[in-house]
Structure formats: structure tokens, C-alpha cells
Amino acid sequence: MKTRFIFSLMAATLLLTSLITRAADDAKAPADQPKLSIVVVENVQRNPSANAISDFDRVDLAFQYVAKQRKWPVTIAAERLVANTPNHETELRVFLHPVREETPGDLTIRAWMALTIQGVKHDFGIITFRYYMRGGEQMDDVIEKVFRGAAETAATKIEPLLFPKPDAVKS
């Protein structure tokens, strides 16, 4: 009986030690990754509801999602543009326009975006994404799809600049 208890205690200790070591390694990984700062400039008007998700939060969530889906080796840090915001080494500045319903059944988002990498600015101009709603879709889901679509559209322009592929070896 005592040997079973001791064996179980040793196994639990080894398991716990390996979990703690892995958690420590996982905690170190994001610090090693380069940081992409997303600075959002948005409309001053806010939704009065305390439970509402702001457009800033939606931009942050959309880029977090896209970076994870595309397996970008960066840490995303979003912030609102405020006075005295320092320039970041790698920064995507997003000037966000409100989401609009241009024709019945579609939602369009526009944002002027510029990526700065070590002082070199890459102006993408106005990124536009249009989503056509389907009958019965929840509005929160639709808005999420609109912001993710805009982030995907921007990601196709950001990716070649942030992660340039080495030129093929010429023979």
C-alpha cells in the first residue's frame, strides 16, 4: 500500500513539474516574438450601452484572430490613439470609419491603414470590405464577420511586408 502511494506521489510530482516547466516556456514564447502594434483612430462617438463591444475592441479581436489563423510569429498589441502616443518599431495605424449599410442587406467597412516598419511607412490607402447579410443571421455575428473580413483584406497587404519570403536561389 505504501509503495503505491509513494509511486503515485512521485508520478504526480513529475507531472506537476513538467506542467509548470511547460507553462513557463509558453509564458516566455510571446516575449521572444516581435510585436506588431495596432494603433486605432476611431470615431469619438461611443455606443452608450455598457455591454456593447466597441469598434476598437472588434479591430483588436479581428487582428488577433487573423494573426492566429495565419500563424504570424508576432504578438499583437492594440491601443487607441491618444496624445503623446510614441511611435512603435512596427506599427499598423488604422483610421477607422463607421460601419455603414450602403445598400439594403450589405454592411461596408472602410479604414485607411498604414504600416510602419522601422521608420519606413507603407501606405495601403483605404481598405474596404463589404459583407452581404443572410436572412436570420445574428447582428453580432455579422459585425464580427465584417471586421474579420477587413482584417483579412489588410493582412494580404501586411504579410508580404512583415514576413518577406527569401528570393528563390537563382541558378
- Structural domains of the chain in order of their starting residue, each with its CATH number: 29-162 (3.30.160)
pTM for the whole thing?
A: 0.73
pLDDT, tens digit (0-9, with 9 covering 90-100), for 112-143: 999 999 989 999 999 999 999 888 889 889 99
CA dihedral 92→60→98→118, nearest 10 degrees, is -10
Residue 151 contacts residue 63 (beta carbons within 8 Å):
yes
pLDDT, tens digit (0-9, with 9 covering 90-100), for 34-68: 888 888 887 666 655 656 788 889 999 999 999 99
pLDDT band at 86 (very low <50, low <70, confident <90, very high): confident
Q: Residue 109, Cβ neighbours under 10 Å: how many?
A: 25
Nearest to 33 by CA among 65, 84, 67: 67
Q: Give the chain's end-to-end CA distance (angstroms, integer).
A: 71
